[in-house]
Structure 1
């Protein structure tokens, strides 16, 4: 699947942005994953709708194989969106992954939709070069001599984000879109709203089963 990832811009006009996130308990014996997708107006970032899904009995949590656990549920949430996004921000890595197929790339290939990986921690590689504690500072994330993503400081004093190619988007374009959608927060608006929606999906599922 990693061989199917397109690491350059291959999309048309972006009118609708998407955000994708999943929520689960690492040691939940039911292996339930709660996923959410949100749609936003690309110009104003106003919410345009959301879709959610929960599924039990999938793969257990295995580092490096998160896509196989989360993507089936994220794809179900995508199908429930009232309007489909032209570009999706995914809470997780894209090509900044030991196999080049993090959850953002995995989802992009499965849906054949442009995706950006926006992760909050490093899975592989290390940040190299000068990386000051100033907003908009950036430094390459390097693994085995290759740049696999970019560390981006979105706010002073905040931990950086790690932006990487998901699918059908170049790294430069991915960074530009993340910076464009920050609104003064640590997280870009699409993944911030998706995180909140995933929490709502999880709580709603708990209320139903409880």
Structure 2
């Protein structure tokens, strides 16, 4: 059972940033996380219909060893917060939580299509979701957001630091397919960066993106189509 705590929809940007500052101190960074290839891994993703203010979320549970689907769940809600860079979690969190709550399985490790520590306030969706649920969570993003990096080597598994302006390493650019551009891995909650990269490589067995993300993306898009007709 997922324990929800401190779930609040802010009134404005100022309150949203204050909530991020409050919850950021609850992020656990000194746990390695579950061993890659063991237990369950859950991908979460969202899709929007901005004209109707509808958001659909999906949670897809995979067997971490085989990548077989164990369970799927979706939830549809109303977008309750405007689009503001750096505050996207407030648009997504309520519906993502509803999808996770609909699961009968323990989600295990959760993989977000987005950021954790690789965030201007060091508190992206993966960190926010981890603090609210207590689950180990990582972020695997398609682009580096506002951060810089050197191209990693061309082989699968090569990586390079994802760096903030002050030189802090906030994640890794990770090559999951030879000759294909990297993904950007950052920790959210209760997982270290090395383990987050190892999980990402196992999940990206056949494609650039983790299988958890690919399946959650397809499922939330289908749920949105069904909800909006």
Task: Say if 2:26 is the partner of 1:4.
Answer: yes
8 Å Cα contact 1:54-1:205 kept in structure 2: yes
In structure 2, the residue corresponding to 1:4 is in which secondary structure? Answer: coil
Give the aligned partner of residue 137 of structure 1: 158
Give the aligned partner of residue 56 of structure 1: 78
In structure 1, the residue corresponding to 2:127 is in which secondary structure? Answer: helix
8 Å Cα contact 1:181-1:190 kept in structure 2: yes
Shift of 1:8: 2.9
Report the CA distance shift for 1:177/1:11 in structure 2 as closer, same or farther (over 3 A): closer
Please, which runs of 5 or more residues in structure 2 have no aligned partner?
1-22
- d(CA) in 2 for partners of 1:57, 1:160: 31
TM-score where L is the length of structure 2? 0.84
Structure 1 residue ranges (4+ consecutive) displaced by more than 6 angstroms after TM superposition: none
Shift of 1:15: 1.2
What is the Cα-based RMSD across aligned positions, in Å?
1.6
8 Å Cα contact 1:7-1:168 kept in structure 2: yes
Shift of 1:29: 3.7
CA distances 1:27-85 after superposition (whole Å, capped 9, x unpaired)? x2432211100111122111011111111141121110011110111000001112121
8 Å Cα contact 1:9-1:173 kept in structure 2: no
- d(CA) in 1 for partners of 2:176, 2:34: 27
- d(CA) in 2 for partners of 1:8, 1:180: 22
- d(CA) in 2 for partners of 1:113, 1:85: 8
Q: Give the number of equivalent residue pairs.
A: 204
TM-score where L is the length of structure 1? 0.91
Report the CA distance shift for 1:3/1:132 in structure 2 as closer, same or farther (over 3 A): same
Q: Write out aligned runs for 1:163-178 (5 A).
A: 163-178=185-200
- d(CA) in 1 for partners of 2:95, 2:24: 20
8 Å Cα contact 2:130-2:188 kept in structure 1: yes
- d(CA) in 1 for partners of 2:42, 2:128: 16
